[in-house]
Every structure is written in C-alpha cells, then in structure tokens.
Amino acid sequence: MVPKELRYSKEHEWLKLEGGRGRIGITDFAQQSLGDVVFVELPEVGQKLTAGDAFGVVESVKAASDCYTPVAGTVVAVNEALLDDPQLINQEPYGGGWMMEVELADPAEVENLMTAEEYEKLTQEGGE
C-alpha cells in the first residue's frame, strides 16, 4: 500500500513534506523491482539540486539505478545508516530507508508531484 500523505514522481521516488523541507526516498514498487539492495550512493550535504537531477545510486543484486530528485533544493541531511545497512531500503522504504532531506527551493513545486492515488494507478499500468 502506498502511504497517502506522501507525494510521488514517475521515477518512483517519494517525498514527505515537513515544513519547508522534503524527505526523499525510493518507493516500495522501486525497491521490489530492484531486489536486494547491496550498496547506496548518497549526495553531499550542501549540494544544490534541480528537479530531475540524479542525486544518488541504488545498487542491487539485479541492477544499479540512479535516483532523481523530484524537487529543487539544497541537501540538508542524508541517511548515513544506509551506508552500513543498505537493505533498510528493502525493509522500510517509506521509513528507515529514506535517502536525503532537502530544503525546498520552492515548496509549491510539490504540487507537481503525483498523489498516492495517481501513483498507484501508474504502477498498476506498469509504469516502470
């Protein structure tokens, strides 16, 4: 089930809005498609990103996949726990498996992302 309070991108990232910040990770659909995650590359704190920029890599036993930021902003935190335990992405994609937090350049940009209902429809239609 897709958490209703989050917003989603077509590239299978999620965003949780908390004030002027967004916490970002990959969706359950994405982690299931990848399989067992064995390595994660995260961005640098302070890095400025534009919506659509690659911000990291998730490698699994099947493939390596770039992750794309759904909004513009400055990286203010990364989930360093993933460096030691990348399988948190498999175990808790919407919780302990988050990847980064950004200070949003424009909080209104979140409105361009899909709702949970729209994202569920995309994945049911085979939106890989």
- CA dihedral sign, ordered 113, 125, 67, 91: positive
CB atoms within 10 A of CB 128: 9
Average pLDDT over all residues of the chain = 96
Which of the four pLDDT bands, split at 50, 70 and 90, describes residue 127? Answer: low
Q: Write down the pTM of the prediction.
A: 0.94
| Domains located in the chain, CATH noted | 7-106 (2.40.50.100)
